Amino acid sequence: MEQIPLTATRRQGSGKSLARKLRAAGSIPAVIYGTGREAESLAIALGDMEKLMRQVSGQTAFLSLHIDDEEPRMAVVRDIQTDYLGQKPLHVDFYEVKADQQLTLDVSIELTGIPKGSEEGGLLDVQNRTISIQGTVTSIPESIELDVSDLDVGDTIHASDLELPEDVSLAIDGSAVIVSCYIPAVTVEEEPEEELEEGEVPEGEEAQESGDGQEASSSEGE
């Protein structure tokens, strides 16, 4: 995973009032934490964070985080809170890591090719667009490429079928379905019933009503 530089500054205090002031000044609140370390409050320029979100796949990013004049720190994005449209970042959580530390991250699955089953009318059903994998931050890729060209009708690709880089393993059940190819079921529409004129009896019911009348007459004669 490529290491992306990002600049941050330390901030004092917390709360909604401070967050509003930061956003009004063109920044957003953030925190960085790690194993055995207390969370530290930061501020990130909104423009820098938006640029980062355009650079990376999903929310997974490996960073060289420059905080004021300190030595850069290796970190990953743990969480991004956005507005209700899911576009503008409002708050970011960073997690500090070490080069040899084992991490579990979700990375995107990039689909390539057209299933050969599509020639028979098959449709591609995508069950998962991300995959949870484990490895060091330097060995985990930004995305996993999956070629679906050989996928025929009735075929399924599971998580265990993905080609992962060396020293990277699945962090989910290998039987999880990624994509499959299927023929959509055909829906047979029922023919609408003919509208009857007032007093008209549907076919098949006339004989029944006649039979019922005979039974009634027979009963009355007993």
Is residue 22 within 8 A of residue 11, CB to CB? The reply is yes
Question: Side-chain half-sphere of 186: how many Cα atoms within 13 Å?
Answer: 3
Q: pLDDT tens digits, the chain, 222 residues: what are they?
A: 778 999 999 988 777 888 888 889 999 999 999 877 889 999 999 999 999 888 876 557 889 999 998 999 999 988 889 888 878 899 999 999 998 899 998 899 999 999 999 999 999 999 999 999 999 988 998 889 999 999 999 999 999 999 999 999 999 999 999 999 999 886 556 666 666 555 555 555 554 555 555 544 444 444
Global pTM reads 0.68
Residues 63, 92, single domain; the answer is: yes
- pLDDT per position as a tens digit, 14-38: 778 888 888 899 999 999 998 778 8
Residues 110, 139, single domain; the answer is: yes
What SS3 string covers the chain? CCEEEEEEEECCCCCHHHHHHHHHCCEEEEEEEECCEEEEEEEEEHHHHHHHHHHCCCCCCEEEEEECCCCCEEEEEEEEEECCCCCCEEEEEEEECCCCCEEEEEEEEEEECCCHHHHHCCEEEECCCEEEEEEECCCCCCEEEEECCCCCCCCEEEHHHCCCCCCCEECCCCCCEEEEEECCCCCCCCCCCCCCCCCCCCCCHHHHHHHHHHHHHHHHHC
Give strand pairing partners of 89.
Answer: 82
**CATH of residue 147:** 2.170.120.20
Residues 50, 85, single domain; the answer is: yes
CB-based burial label for 212 (10 Å; 0-12, 13-18, 19+):
exposed
Q: Is residue 30 a part of any domain in this protein?
A: yes
**CATH of residue 88:** 2.40.240.10
Domain termination site, one of 46, 71, 97: 97
Six-digit token pair at 68?
Answer: 């004021």
Domain count, the chain: 2
| pLDDT at 16 (0 to 100) | 81
Residues 115, 153, single domain; the answer is: yes
Residues 162, 218: Cα–Cα separation, whole Å: 78
| pLDDT at 218 (0 to 100) | 47
Domain extent at residue 117: 104-182
Q: Is residue 170 a part of any domain in this protein?
A: yes
Q: Is residue 202 a part of any domain in this protein?
A: no
Residues 91, 108, single domain; the answer is: no
Q: Is residue 195 a part of any domain in this protein?
A: no
Q: Is residue 201 a part of any domain in this protein?
A: no
Is residue 73 within 8 A of residue 96, CB to CB? The reply is yes
Residues 110, 82, single domain; the answer is: no
Residues 8, 93, single domain; the answer is: yes
Number of other residues whose CB lies within 10 A of the CB of residue 98: 12
